[in-house]
Amino acid sequence: MPLVAILSTVVVEGPLALRTRRLEAARSGEIGMQIVTLPQLAARLAGGFARPAQGRPLDEAARAALGQADLTALAPLRDLPGMVRALVRTLERLWRADVALGPQAEDARLRDLAALDAHVRAALPRGMLAPPDLVRAATARVALAPQVLGPVRFEHVHELPPVWRPLVAAIAEVTPLAWSAAAGSGGAPEDLAPALAPPRPAARLVACADPQHEVVEALRWARALMADQGVRPAEIAIVAASPEPWDDHLLALSAAADFPVHFSHGVPLLATRDGQACAALADVLAHGLSQERVRRVLGHGAGRAPMLFDLPARPLAEVRRQALLGDLGQWRRALEMARSERDDGVDPEAALLPALELMAKGLAVAEAAGGQLLPSSAAAHWSAALAAAPAVALGFSLQASRVGDGRDPGANVVWAPARHLVGAPRPWVRMLGLTARAWPRPDLSDPLLPEHILALDPQAPISRAEADRRAFEAIAGAASAELVLSYGRRSRQGGRQAPSPLAAGDAEATVLRRMRVPEHAFSEADRLRARPAEAADTPALARAQTCWRARRAGALSPYDGLLRADHPAILRVLAQPQSPTSLRRLLRDPLGYVWSYVLRWRDGVHPASPLALDDRAFGDLVHLLLQHAVNALEPVPGFGRASEGETQSALNAAMTSIGQTWPLERATPPPLLWRYTLELARAFAWRALTLDGTFAPGTRSWTEIEFGDPNGPAAEADAPWDPRAPVLVSGTELTIRGAIDRLELSADDRGARVTDYKTGLPPKNPAAMVLAGGAELQRVLYAIAVRQHRPDARAQARLVFLNDETPIPHRLAGDELEAAIEQAVGALRAGVDLMRRGVALPGPDAETDWSPSRLPLPAVGEMYRAIKQPAFGRAFGAFDAVWRLR
């Protein structure tokens, strides 16, 4: 005989119950059963493709109503961020309570809400109905309930809002209707009231340190149930009245442990790849163009978004990573410059400019930008966020958005808000956040319809605090196997917390210490923390422990910077030309020298928009101004022969040119501060250009003249020497390279003067500062380079502090210069010997604020220095005499 399906309907409450009950029906082979929620029940009976008003269409209708309705009291609020969500919540509250507002109400706010209600219902898509309209349509066809619904059974439905009560009563008159496994009256009529659930079992109360510790203990508890007792994940639930404070911890820890947890309320959109794509686009539209923001958008959309689908490989090659690129004009110039430097024939301007022009228009084109610059999956979330809030509040809307996690509740431990678990109870339950203010939560006033304007029946709908109490009793009553109540002794902000009154009748709380050894670990990291002996055998942890002990021991070790003698990597770097900066690091911070030049560690963080250039960048700016200005004056009319007006014109032209090109290559302050920085740098450069009153006839002048760089540019026609020719430091194995700030040669090449410009303040006694313990090497190294290229010239080296209102040149010449060179050569020889012996320990510069060595060194540097200082002294030996050089 053919199998005949008997039609029946089961009504459940919440998305978790809907998915769980459908899975149970499929597993048990129940045929002909419809599993629906109350709104879906009404829509099924109403027919005609009717569906309940919810989700994005309802948000769009509310936004349209706010723009079209003639408002008075609510008019100032219509464009505020969050108004769409607030209106939807208020209307849903009125609809559930079955309260109809008339246009003739006495209060202006009630009249506005009545108008908005009418506009929202009219703006809904065809077939989508508000609950009161859906109830009327379903009631009109209630005679068809036996054929459309069959027998109806409510399972774990704990609240029956007033709007649905007439429909449920009408259905009960024409077809069998029953309630099962319910708790609490829920406000239903007497003849439909669900039966009370049996008293809940005794619970175990535990006190954790804070919310993060609660999550750790919950995962340990769930893992122990599955591993030791064979409990299926689908029988375990972790629940909170409002799960947001624990979401991030549970998401991170469960993912790290590969733990099967289903988020019934969804995961935050921003925790997904599509969410990060939306966040990147929202950032660039809201805050303007910058290279970091544009790179993020391209990283998510390249090859996936419509406007970026045909983007070439490495579209931003040859664009300087340090440049901010804060406006469209800078992007055009940077892409044009990159095109001239690329060797693959790609035109980045043609590929990227349309997308950049769209981004530059900001939030005004948010809808179009989402469709063109986001992958299709992310564009759907973008459109939903725009429907829920205006573009100016896009960041808040994205932050509040949630998406499904793709997991099945029938195969995973469930993490759910209490209102979801009420409709799908589980035997093993752990409740989090049982504190006085978190469960039950305090009631919140409706911002658009406060109680003093319209007081609804306390049971229609019930208050938030009462809903939390009922949910607690329902979940606890259904936890037939085990119920654990958990609360944090401290909040996320560190404040003390008291347990909830809902847990007052249970046994005294068991305090779980954060560092306790658990009975069952939830992850590999948790297991190793509980078993130090096994952790010690793990290679990565063993190395970390060895490093920790070595850093706290008085003896030196490789973790402090000891290397084997004549290490090939050290010798390879020492054989390369050294800059003044690298040689200063060699003498003042040997360990930093290894990190920077041998291991090539670099700081990859670039400020998005610095408020001021750092000292080094500002010095580069002043030197660049000097170079451009002097180059413009040489050879005609010649820097030494130029008038004051010609010098000023050359400097002004240099400032204009650099003001346009600098932002294309390096981070730049905002426009107003950038103009101030340029003016300040111009003042410093002017002091340098006007420092010397007159020059001997035929004197030639250069700025930023390079030497000793084998990979440098070819010599220009008027260059004083070949910049690629090697420069050897006599008495050492070192060659040096660099750029002399300023070089002047007499007409007969018998006199040479080099100048090292400093943009900082002069020290108290700059005349006594020659090498400064290895910190001031530039002018001495410049003199060495000049002596090699002009061995017969009388060299003079100057140090000038441009931050002084009247700069005073501090000269080294004759015997003083010879002595300084001899001391510098001796210091460099000692530094090379130190490196070759493998003593790469932190020096005096390692603890300065600007040193990159501060990050890898122990955080408490004073304690580390105190422990290691005697050993450092023995290892450095006589080398520390370098740091005492004047």
The pLDDT assigned to 822 comes to 93
Task: Tell me the backbone φ, ψ of residue 218, rounded to 5 degrees.
Answer: -65, -40
In this structure, is residue 610 part of a structural domain?
no
Q: Which helix (H) or strand (E) holds 34?
A: strand 33-36
How do residues 327-386 score in pLDDT, each as one tens digit?
A: 898 899 888 888 888 877 788 888 889 999 999 999 999 999 999 999 999 999 999 888
Half-sphere exposure of 737 (CA within 13 A, CB side): 16
Same domain, yes or no, for 490 and 414?
yes
Q: Considering the domain boundaries, does residue 129 fall inside one? A: yes
Is the predicted pLDDT of residue 320 greater than 90, yes or no? no
**Residue 703 forms beta bridges with which residues?**
742
- DSSP 8-class letter at 1: -
Q: Note down the domain range covering 488.
A: 204-266+406-443+462-511
606-616 per-position pLDDT tens digit: 656 778 888 88
3-class secondary structure, 209: coil
Peptide bond into 409 cis (omega under 30): no
Task: Decide if 521 is inside a domain.
Answer: no
Q: For residue range 684-737, what is the model confidence (pLDDT) as tens digits?
A: 999 988 887 656 777 888 888 899 999 888 888 788 899 999 999 988 889 999
**21 and 60 within one domain:** yes
The pLDDT confidence band at residue 312, using thresholds 50, 70 and 90, is confident
Domain count, the chain: 4
pLDDT at 449 over 50: yes
Predicted pLDDT at 861: 66
pLDDT band for 311, please (50, 70, 90 cuts).
confident
Structure tokens at 470: 């009922």
- % of the chain with per-residue pLDDT over 70: 94
Percent of the chain with pLDDT over 90: 36
Per-residue pLDDT at 607: 58
According to the model, what pLDDT value does residue 527 have? 85
Q: Are residues 473 and 435 in the same domain?
A: yes
Residues 6+ apart with CB under 8 A from 449: 90, 93, 94, 109, 113
Examine the domain organization and report whether 52 and 168 are in the same domain.
Answer: yes
- Residue 306 near residue 371 (C-beta atoms within 8 A): yes
Residue 684 covered by a domain: no
Note whether residue 828 is domain-resident.
no
CATH code of the domain in which 237 resides: 3.40.50.300
Could you report the per-residue pLDDT of 853-874, keeping only the tens digit for each? 777 777 766 788 888 889 999 9
What confidence tens digit (pLDDT) does each residue in 405-429 have? 888 898 899 999 999 999 899 999 9
* Other C-beta atoms lying within 10 Å of the C-beta of residue 692: 17
Say how far apart CA 264 and CA 429 lie, in whole Å. 15
pLDDT digits (tens, 9 = 90+) for 780-833: 999 999 999 998 889 899 999 998 888 888 888 888 999 999 999 999 999 999
pLDDT value of position 277: 94
Predicted pLDDT of residue 222: 93
pLDDT band at 193 (very low <50, low <70, confident <90, very high): very low
pLDDT at 85: 86
- Determine, yes or no, domain membership for 629: no
| One domain for residues 20 and 154 | yes
What are φ and ψ of residue 498, in 5° steps?
A: -105, 150
Domain check: are 108 and 158 in the same one?
yes
pLDDT in tens, 200-247: 567 889 999 899 999 999 999 999 999 889 999 999 999 999 998 899
Question: CA 714, CA 726: separation in Å to the nearest integer?
Answer: 13
Both structure tokens of 469 = 């109490």
Which is nearest to 214 in space by CA: 236, 261, 247, 262? 247
- The Cα angle at residue 395 between residues 391 and 399, in degrees rounded to 5: 130
Residue 130 lies in a domain: yes
Residues 274 and 316 in one domain: yes
The model's pTM is 0.80
Write down the pLDDT at residue 232.
93
Looking at the fold, whether 221 and 175 belong to one and the same domain comes out as: no
Whole-number mean pLDDT of the chain? 86
Q: Which amino acid, one-letter code, is at 377? A: S
What is residue 612's predicted lDDT score, i.e. its pLDDT? Answer: 85
The mean per-residue pLDDT over the stretch 836-848 comes to 88
